[in-house]
């Protein structure tokens, strides 16, 4: 009962975001979208049978205004309207290091452009507000909340943070910012008639622009962008960024709620979005940002799906303790079996000279499962997902290493495991009894992790923060804790499904 209450409370907190967004989209806001469509039409952007509309409880989305057939092009965005590295203000691109990322360059173009920009005023008017970004993107949250992120989400956040800090450092070292202590007056920018640039931005100003780019760009591969790293093949484009994301599983075509998304394509002249199935009038039309887990969607876009076929949970915190325990046991056995070094006796060989070879070679100590997994490249990155509720391939490899070396300590156990890795010989799969042992091993690890870590994080961690809401020193906002609680509930559900499969 308590768990259900916590889950309901978490959904209610996140639901406030949708309700607030819905309330905020008043007539004046809808006028902003209408002005955007007029602006877009004047620039050759074509919408066919779709338009932006308010989705009850979920903010804005693109909806079919008439029945649509499969293979209809519903949006065409001419290449001339895209914001790319080539459209950045020349003074900005020249002032920044050549090795700054395209992400960082586009963010600088947004941040230093005075607001509202006459050229992009209608487009800027429908972008998410800074408050939206600070509410739902973990990069902006209180650092003390990071301890409550799942392992994979935290890894993604730290990588994202490193990218941002690198870009921001390049901006700080450039001549774009206003002169300050120790900074020479930037004559070159003035000579290039850049007096209109906003040269007094703060770190948060740049972070807001950087996150807008992060959440609203599209992958853009052309003959010119092919020379860049994959992460730098990005572009901002009007109207297309209003499409919402959904997941789609091709292997479950007939599953209720699992519907194909539209296809996207670039040509030298335009970007297009095309239907891949029929749509009824009034139905929301989605695109797919990629096959991403909820950890990825939370860190990169600030939302979670209740059901996401591509979701997964990292269970390193369940498996690695088993490997550490096995390694400690192995080392303990080695110490017990260790004997004082034998005196090497030498005998005369046939020629009457001493043979330098000892009579018996010293046996190498057996390797622990953790050592064997590290040698073979299978240490860590263990996951559960809806398609593999009993663990991914790497998880099954780790379990086999534990089982092989537990059943046959020494060279025989390692030989059995390496026969599986190198030649696909899998005695565990061929024997129901052996597979049952692996299932029991994984179930034991998941139960311990679920009890000690997952429930404890929610009960003893986030619940205490929630209790302090409104008090001095409160950590984060209600919406932050709501998203974190919801994510851990999702993790718990995946673990529970795995346990049901393992013990069923």
Token pair belonging to 28: 């004046």
Q: Which of 58-72, 269-283, 334-348, 390-404 has the lowest average pLDDT?
A: 334-348
Q: Which of 29-33, 62-66, 359-363 has the lowest average pLDDT?
A: 359-363
Phi and psi for 409 in degrees, rounded to 5?
Answer: -65, 145
pLDDT tens figures, 328-359? 655 555 555 555 555 545 554 555 555 555 54
398: containing domain: 314-329+368-503
Say whether both 142 and 187 belong to one domain. Answer: yes
Task: For residues 185 and 170, give the distance between their C-alpha atoms in angstroms, rounded to a whole number.
Answer: 18
Q: Which of 139-148, 246-255, 405-414 has the lowest average pLDDT?
A: 246-255
| Residue 355 domain flag | no
| Residue 1 domain flag | no
Query: Between 200 and 91, whose confidence is greater?
Result: 91
Task: For residues 408 and 117, give the distance between their C-alpha atoms in angstroms, rounded to a whole number.
Answer: 71
| Residue 361 domain flag | no
| Residue 195 domain flag | yes
pLDDT tens figures, 152-193? 999 999 999 999 999 999 999 998 886 444 455 445 544 454
Number of domains in the chain: 2
| Residue 115 domain flag | yes
pLDDT tens figures, 394-421? 999 999 999 888 766 667 788 888 888 8
Q: Does residue 318 surpass a pLDDT of 70?
A: yes
Query: Between 14 and 267, whose confidence is greater?
Result: 267
pLDDT at 456: 82
Range 73-102 average pLDDT: 95
Say whether both 182 and 229 belong to one domain. Answer: yes
Report the candidate in 457, 475, 160 with the shortest Cα–Cα distance to residue 317.
457
Q: Does residue 429 surpass a pLDDT of 80?
A: no
Range 24-53 average pLDDT: 88
Q: Which CATH number covers residue 224?
A: 3.90.1410.10
Say whether both 230 and 185 belong to one domain. Answer: yes
Say whether both 179 and 322 belong to one domain. Answer: no
Say whether both 240 and 374 belong to one domain. Answer: no
Say whether both 288 and 408 belong to one domain. Answer: no
pLDDT at 215: 96
Q: Which of 110-124, 204-218, 446-460 has the lowest average pLDDT?
A: 110-124
Q: Does residue 316 surpass a pLDDT of 80?
A: yes
Say whether both 163 and 293 belong to one domain. Answer: yes
Q: Does residue 251 surpass a pLDDT of 60?
A: no
Say whether both 382 and 273 belong to one domain. Answer: no
pLDDT at 182: 41
| Residue 337 domain flag | no
Range 78-103 average pLDDT: 94
Q: Fill in the DSSP letter of residue 454.
A: I
Q: Does residue 205 surpass a pLDDT of 90?
A: yes
Say whether both 165 and 251 belong to one domain. Answer: yes
Query: Between 209 and 363, whose confidence is greater?
Result: 209
C-alpha dist (Å) from residue 397 to 13, 379, 402, 426: 40, 9, 9, 10
Query: Between 197 and 89, whose confidence is greater?
Result: 89
| Residue 357 domain flag | no
pLDDT at 28: 63
pLDDT at 427: 76
Q: Does residue 258 surpass a pLDDT of 60?
A: no
Residue 434 — pLDDT band, cuts 50, 70, 90?
confident
Token pair belonging to 460: 């003893």
Say whether both 237 and 190 belong to one domain. Answer: yes
Range 310-331 average pLDDT: 85
Range 44-59 average pLDDT: 90
End-to-end CA distance of the chain, in Å? 24
Range 242-268 average pLDDT: 75
Query: Between 151 and 332, whose confidence is greater?
Result: 151
Say whether both 232 and 112 belong to one domain. Answer: yes
Strand extents, DSSP E, 122-281: 217-219, 234-236, 263-266, 270-274
Report the candidate in 222, 327, 309, 209 with the shortest Cα–Cα distance to residue 265.
222
Say whether both 196 and 283 belong to one domain. Answer: yes
DSSP string computed for 237-294 = -TTGGGPPB----GGGTTSTT-----EEEE-SSEEEEE-SS-B-TT-B--B---S--H
| Residue 88 domain flag | yes
């Amino acid at each position: 009962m308590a768990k259900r209450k916590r889950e309901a409370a978490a959904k209610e907190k996140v639901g406030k975001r949708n309700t607030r967004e819905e309330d905020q989209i008043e007539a004046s806001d809808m006028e902003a979208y209408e002005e955007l469509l007029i602006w877009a039409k004047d620039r050759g952007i074509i919408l066919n049978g779709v338009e932006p509309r308010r989705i009850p409880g979920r903010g804005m989305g693109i909806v079919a205004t008439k029945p649509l057939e499969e293979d209809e092009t519903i949006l065409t965005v001419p290449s001339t309207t895209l914001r790319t590295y080539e459209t950045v203000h020349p003074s900005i691109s020249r002032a920044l290091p050549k090795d700054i990322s395209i992400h960082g360059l586009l963010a600088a173009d947004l941040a230093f452009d005075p607001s509202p920009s006459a050229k992009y005023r209608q487009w800027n008017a429908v972008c998410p507000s800074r408050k939206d970004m600070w509410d739902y993107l973990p990069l902006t949250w209180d650092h003390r909340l990071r301890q409550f992120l799942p392992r994979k989400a935290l890894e993604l956040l730290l990588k994202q943070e490193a990218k941002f800090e690198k870009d921001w450092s390049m901006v700080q070292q450039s001549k774009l910012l206003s002169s300050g202590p120790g900074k020479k007056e930037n004559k070159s920018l003035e000579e290039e008639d850049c007096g209109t640039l906003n040269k007094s931005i703060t770190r948060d100003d740049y972070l807001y622009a950087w996150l807008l780019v992060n959440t609203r760009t599209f992958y853009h591969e052309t003959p010119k962008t092919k020379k860049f790293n994959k992460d730098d093949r990005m572009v901002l484009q009007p109207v297309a960024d209003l499409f919402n994301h959904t997941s789609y599983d091709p292997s479950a075509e007939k599953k209720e709620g699992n519907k194909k998304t539209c296809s996207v394509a670039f040509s030298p002249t335009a970007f297009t979005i095309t239907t891949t199935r029929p749509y009824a009038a009034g139905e929301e039309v989605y695109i797919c940002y990629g096959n991403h887990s909820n950890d990825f969607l939370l860190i990169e876009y600030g939302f979670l799906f209740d059901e996401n076929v591509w979701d997964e949970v990292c269970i390193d915190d369940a498996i690695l303790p088993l490997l550490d325990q096995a390694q400690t046991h192995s080392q303990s056995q080695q110490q017990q079996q260790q004997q004082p070094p034998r005196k090497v006796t030498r005998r005369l060989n046939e020629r009457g000279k001493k043979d330098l070879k000892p009579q018996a070679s010293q046996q190498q100590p057996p390797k622990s499962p953790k050592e064997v997994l590290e040698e073979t490249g299978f240490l860590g990155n263990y996951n559960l997902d809806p398609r593999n509720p009993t663990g991914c391939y790497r998880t099954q490899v780790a379990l086999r290493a534990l089982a092989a070396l537990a059943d046959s300590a020494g060279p025989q156990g390692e030989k059995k495991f390496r026969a599986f890795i190198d030649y696909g010989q899998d005695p565990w799969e061929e024997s129901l009894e052996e597979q049952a042992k692996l299932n029991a091993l994984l179930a034991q690890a998941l139960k311990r992790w679920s009890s000690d870590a997952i429930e404890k994080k929610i009960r003893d961690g986030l619940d205490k923060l929630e209790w302090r809401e409104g008090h001095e020193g409160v950590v984060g906002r209600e919406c932050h804790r709501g998203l974190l609680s919801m994510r851990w509930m999702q993790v718990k559900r995946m673990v529970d499904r795995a346990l049901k499969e393992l013990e069923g």
